[in-house]
């Protein structure tokens, strides 16, 4: 059962075994996406040649509102990965308590191999192929791995030109200048921090925690800055090439500067180079996977020595690893709760665009904090009600909300 989608389905089946109301016809409905679309995007390259890229959009469920979810650019992006992430988005929006359904998209490409102009053309091409099924009331994409606010601006511009749409609410995660929301860039990391605050005491974690973060992109780097700004010690971070460790805590601002110049984390003064596997096995209070799915696996879960795991990536813990962590009494604050801050501020952006408003950063943060702490309380209550893990509690909560909407 190596297919990631089958594994995600196993989770909702498990939820239906715990709460029988989630079985039967409802479960049958939840097992299949509303639509999965595969497109080919014929793109003119700078040298005059034409290259065909494979793109995707999976619209999983709109029972609670328009399909919502990011678009990822990655060489390994494929329809099964996108379908799995679209199901996770459906659950995530329901946990977050926002009136949105779930979707996900992608293009299989290596971003560093394309020029900026090529990247713009392939991004606009993705929109041209999918314009009919997108829109503020239909499907609202956003950034994900390797997609930036600038890419959202190109996509939104293409959509508005093609359709005459005027509000700009078809894409979220846009730059502020073209209708983006204050706070969207830091929202996933900040939402993760608010979630951590909701659980810190309950999980018996110290007031000042030692944190290890895997991933130093938008989510990981912002989380690192936010945790250290609030007095926690970020002792290690890593990216795809490897990481750095400093038991006394890393200066994140300086580390960002170093990475920009050196194009790598390695060699940061006052730190020791480590591998990703070493980072996952560090003795610390909170381990934060903030990059890809399936990084904590059957092979390494036993080596995890953190007191808790906060999932800021989507699907970072494989099902077998989840069981191992449970046996080791290491609580996992699940992705569909912990990383829902990003999509929550996306929802705020969509609302602002539709109303022609622009909210202050303080207003966005205050609203985000409210949504995150409500979601954390609801998930905790659900996991206690059914005497199950936080992940299962979150999934049951989401499915109950989706079922009620249907």
Under rule CB under 6 A, which residues in 313-332 are in contact with ligand GLU? 314
Work out which of 90, 346, 383, 388 binds ligand GLU, going by CB under 6 A.
Answer: 346
Work out which of 19, 36, 81, 144 binds ligand GLU, going by CB under 6 A.
Answer: 144
Instruction: Determine if 334 is a binding residue for ligand GLU (CB under 6 A).
Output: no
CB 340 within 8 A of CB 319: no
Distance CA 76, CA 182 (A): 32
Name the segment binding ligand GLU (CB under 6 A); options: 9-17, 62-70, 319-327, 371-379: 62-70
Instruction: Determine if 142 is a binding residue for ligand GLU (CB under 6 A).
Output: yes
Question: Between 341-355 and 187-200, two packed helices, what is the crossing angle to 10 degrees?
Answer: 130
Q: How buried is residue 269: exposed, middle or buried, by Cβ count under 10 Å (0-12/13-18/19+)?
A: exposed
- Residue 98 or 396: the one with the smaller Cβ distance to ligand GLU is 98
- How near is the Cβ of 59 to ligand GLU at its closest, in Å? 13
- How near is the Cβ of 296 to ligand GLU at its closest, in Å? 18
Instruction: Determine if 174 is a binding residue for ligand GLU (CB under 6 A).
Output: no
Closest CA to 291 of 216, 355, 364, 354: 216
Instruction: Determine if 286 is a binding residue for ligand GLU (CB under 6 A).
Output: no
Instruction: Determine if 186 is a binding residue for ligand GLU (CB under 6 A).
Output: no
Residue with the shortest CB distance to ligand GLU:
70
- How near is the Cβ of 346 to ligand GLU at its closest, in Å? 3
Specify the 3-state DSSP secondary structure of 263. coil
- How near is the Cβ of 3 to ligand GLU at its closest, in Å? 20
Instruction: Determine if 77 is a binding residue for ligand GLU (CB under 6 A).
Output: no
Work out which of 55, 65, 66, 70 binds ligand GLU, going by CB under 6 A.
Answer: 70
Sheet holding 35-44, edge to edge: 35-44, 50-61, 102-107, 67-73, 139-143
Closest CA to 271 of 290, 248, 287: 248
Instruction: Determine if 81 is a binding residue for ligand GLU (CB under 6 A).
Output: no
- Residue 143 or 245: the one with the smaller Cβ distance to ligand GLU is 143
Closest CA to 63 of 290, 399, 387, 336: 399
Q: Beta strands of 9-109 (E only): which ranges?
A: 35-44, 50-61, 67-73, 102-107
- How near is the Cβ of 20 to ligand GLU at its closest, in Å? 30
Instruction: Determine if 189 is a binding residue for ligand GLU (CB under 6 A).
Output: no
Work out which of 183, 185, 331, 342 binds ligand GLU, going by CB under 6 A.
Answer: 342
Look at the block and give the residue holding tokens 């997609």.
147
Backbone phi, then psi, for 11, in 5-degree steps? -65, -45
Name the segment binding ligand GLU (CB under 6 A); options: 201-209, 277-285, 322-330, 339-347: 339-347
- How near is the Cβ of 155 to ligand GLU at its closest, in Å? 13
Q: How buried is residue 197: exposed, middle or buried, by Cβ count under 10 Å (0-12/13-18/19+)?
A: middle
Fill in the DSSP letter of residue 233. Answer: E
Cβ atoms within 10 A of the Cβ of 170, count?
Answer: 27
Could you give the residue numbers annotated as active site? 104
Instruction: Determine if 172 is a binding residue for ligand GLU (CB under 6 A).
Output: yes
Question: Between 4-18 and 79-96, two packed helices, what is the crossing angle to 10 degrees?
Answer: 30
Residues that bind ligand GLU (CB under 6 A): 68-70, 142, 144, 172-173, 314, 339, 342-343, 346
């Amino acid at each position: 059962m190596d297919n990631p989608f089958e594994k995600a389905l196993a989770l909702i089946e498990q939820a239906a075994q715990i709460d029988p109301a989630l079985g039967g016809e409802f479960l049958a409905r939840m097992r299949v996406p509303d639509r999965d679309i595969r497109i080919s995007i014929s793109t003119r390259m700078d040298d005059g040649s034409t290259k065909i890229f494979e793109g995707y959009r999976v619209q999983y469920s709109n029972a609670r509102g328009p399909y919502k979810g990011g678009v990822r650019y990655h060489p390994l992006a494929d329809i099964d990965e996108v379908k799995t992430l679209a199901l996770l988005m459906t659950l995530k929006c329901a946990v977050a308590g926002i009136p949105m359904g779930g979707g996900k998209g992608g293009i299989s490409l290596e971003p560093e191999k394309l020029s900026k102009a090529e990247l713009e053309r392939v991004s606009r091409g993705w929109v041209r192929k999918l314009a009919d099924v997108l829109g503020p009331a239909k499907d609202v994409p956003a950034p994900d791995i390797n997609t930036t606010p600038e890419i959202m601006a190109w996509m939104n511009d293409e959509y508005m030109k093609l359709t005459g749409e005027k509000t700009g609410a078809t894409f979220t995660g846009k730059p502020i200048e073209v209708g983006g929301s204050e706070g969207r860039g830091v929202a996933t990391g900040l939402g993760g921090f608010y979630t951590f605050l909701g659980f810190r005491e309950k999980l018996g974690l110290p007031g000042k925690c030692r944190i290890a973060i895997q991933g130093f992109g938008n989510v990981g780097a912002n989380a690192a800055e936010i945790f250290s700004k609030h007095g926690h010690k970020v002792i290690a971070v890593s990216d795809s090439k490897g990481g750095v460790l400093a038991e006394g805590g890393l200066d994140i601002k300086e580390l960002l500067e170093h990475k920009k110049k050196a194009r790598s984390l390695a060699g940061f003064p006052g730190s020791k180079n480590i591998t990703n596997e070493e980072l996952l096995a560090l003795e610390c209070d909170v381990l934060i996977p903030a990059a890809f799915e399936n990084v904590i696996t059957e092979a390494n879960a036993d080596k995890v020595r953190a007191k808790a795991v906060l999932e800021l990536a989507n699907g970072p813990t494989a099902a077998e690893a989840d069981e191992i962590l449970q046996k080791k009494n290491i609580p996992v604050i699940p992705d569909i709760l912990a990383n829902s801050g990003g999509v929550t501020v996306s929802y705020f952006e969509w609302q602002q665009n539709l109303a022609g408003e622009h909210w202050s950063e303080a207003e966005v943060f205050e609203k985000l904090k409210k949504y995150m702490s409500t979601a954390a309380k609801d998930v905790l209550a659900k996991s206690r009600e059914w005497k199950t893990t936080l992940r299962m509690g979150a999934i049951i909560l989401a499915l109950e909300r989706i079922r009620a909407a249907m």
